[in-house]
Every structure is written in C-alpha cells, then in structure tokens.
Amino acid sequence: MTRLRLGILISGRGSNMVALVEAAQAADYPAEPVLVLSNQPHADGLNLARARGIEAIAVDHRPFSGDRAAHERALDDHLQARGVDVIALAGYMRVLTPWFVRRWQGRMVNIHPSLLPKYPGLNTHARAIEAGETEAGCSVHWVSDGVDTGEVIAQARIPIRPGDTAAALAQRLLPAEHRLYPEALRRACARIRAGNGQTD
Ligand code: GRF
C-alpha cells in the first residue's frame, strides 16, 4: 500500500512530531513523514526532525509583517512541492486562515490538550483545574474554521489530582498525547483513503 505523504507543522518542542515520526517507522503505518515546517526558526523540533532524517524547514512568519495569508502561501508552496497528502498540526501555535483551512479540509488534523469541546484555545490545563474538573485529556480532531473546532477523531483521558498544577497536569498528559496522536492519525488516514475525511 502506498503511504500518504505527511507534513507536520510545529512551533516549538516537537515531542508530538517525534511521536508521529517514530510511529511511522512501523512498516504498516499509513503515513510517511516527508516534511516538517515551523514558523519559529529556533524551534527545537526542527533539529529533532533532521536527526531522524526528515527534511525540516523554518518559514518565519515575522518577515511577512502580519500578512498571514502570504505566510501560509509560503507554507503551502513547500507542502505542494513535497507532494504532501495529509497535514498533522503538532503544537503549531498560529491560527490558520480560512483559505488554508479550506485548502486542506478533510486532510488536516490537530492535537489539542483538552477534552474538546471543553477548553479550546490557550491555558487549557489551568482553566480545567480552575473549573474544578476531575478529568483532563487530549483530543485529536479534524481542522475546520474556528479554533480547536472540527470533528473529534479520538480522545484520551487522565484524572486531575487534588493539588495538581497546570504544569504538572501538562507533563502527565504528554505521554497520553504521544500514544493518542499516532493512533488517531492512523484512523484519519483510513478516512482519507476511503474518501471521507471531514468535509464540513
Ligand atoms: C502539546 O501539548 C499539544 O497538545 C499542544 O501543544 C503542545 C505541543 O507540544 N497543541 P510538542 O511541541 O508536541 O512537544
């Protein structure tokens, strides 16, 4: 079976990107990482990708002076040039324009550290603790217009412990993210192959 060509967008540490790259080493994994893009030139994840033999390119958003669409056209040029079929956002910290979202609709997924639809956006852990939640988690979802909206593909849950801080919770959740993302991307690839990735 030909594998789908995977592009991964990051902004920083890149631990979820590494989890995807490592999962893709399995012979039966449906996606092959071919390109990592970062809007942050000094993102640690760029070197982690290169160390694993994946082409990694920084496309700094700053020289585009706030022209988000122009920055995304530059990202898109790289993705098209490498024949990317599916995008995984992995800690990509910029909100995408409707143009980019529609262009990749049904072929782009994201991981978010909350049990969506609860706590989209930033500071999810602090907000969950503040609200007295007893459970936290992470979600992999199709990307659609709107921040952290779009159909959820898979979720993982962990308990919030008394006295938990946002930092402690984030750290405890991370291994669950690393298990969830490769499995959810596997499901997403199956949907794309079947021609029914999320389309609304
Ligand atoms: C993760 O917690 C992910 O859920 C969120 O941003 C963080 C990125 O971490 N979207 P990393 O760069 O994958 O290590």
The whole-number pLDDT of residue 197 equals 72
Q: Which residues of the chain have pLDDT under 50?
A: none
* Residue 42 within any structural domain of the chain: yes
1 CA from centroid of ligand 1 (Å):
30
* Residue 182 within any structural domain of the chain: yes
* Residue 151 within any structural domain of the chain: yes
The number of the ligand 1 atom at minimal distance from the alpha carbon of 111 is 4
Ligand 1 binding pocket mutation candidate from 16, 37, 96, 119 (most atoms within 8 A of CB): 16
**How many structural domains comprise the chain?**
1
Amino acid residing at 111: I
The whole-number pLDDT of residue 88 equals 98
* Residue 161 within any structural domain of the chain: yes
The whole-number pLDDT of residue 198 equals 66
Rounded Cα–Cα distance for residues 34 and 49 (Å) = 10
Q: Which of 104, 118, 6 is nearest to 52 (CA)?
A: 6
* Residue 198 within any structural domain of the chain: no
Backbone conformation region of residue 136, classed left if phi is above 0, alpha if psi is from -120 to 50, else beta: beta
* Residue 200 within any structural domain of the chain: no
The whole-number pLDDT of residue 142 equals 98
Domain that holds residue 129: 4-193
> Would you say the CB of residue 90 lies under 6 angstroms from ligand 1?
yes
The whole-number pLDDT of residue 196 equals 72
Q: Are 154 and 184 in contact (CB under 8 A)?
A: yes
The whole-number pLDDT of residue 200 equals 52
Residues 6+ apart with CB under 8 A from 50: 56
* Residue 68 within any structural domain of the chain: yes
* Residue 121 within any structural domain of the chain: yes
> Would you say the CB of residue 33 lies under 6 angstroms from ligand 1?
no
> Would you say the CB of residue 197 lies under 6 angstroms from ligand 1?
no
> Would you say the CB of residue 150 lies under 6 angstroms from ligand 1?
no
CATH number at residue 160: 3.40.50.170
Give per-residue burial for 16-48: e unless 16+ CB within 10 Å, then b: bbbbbbebbeeeebbbebbbbbbbbeebebbeb
Active site residues: 112
Q: Which of 34, 51, 44 is nearest to 11 (CA)?
A: 44
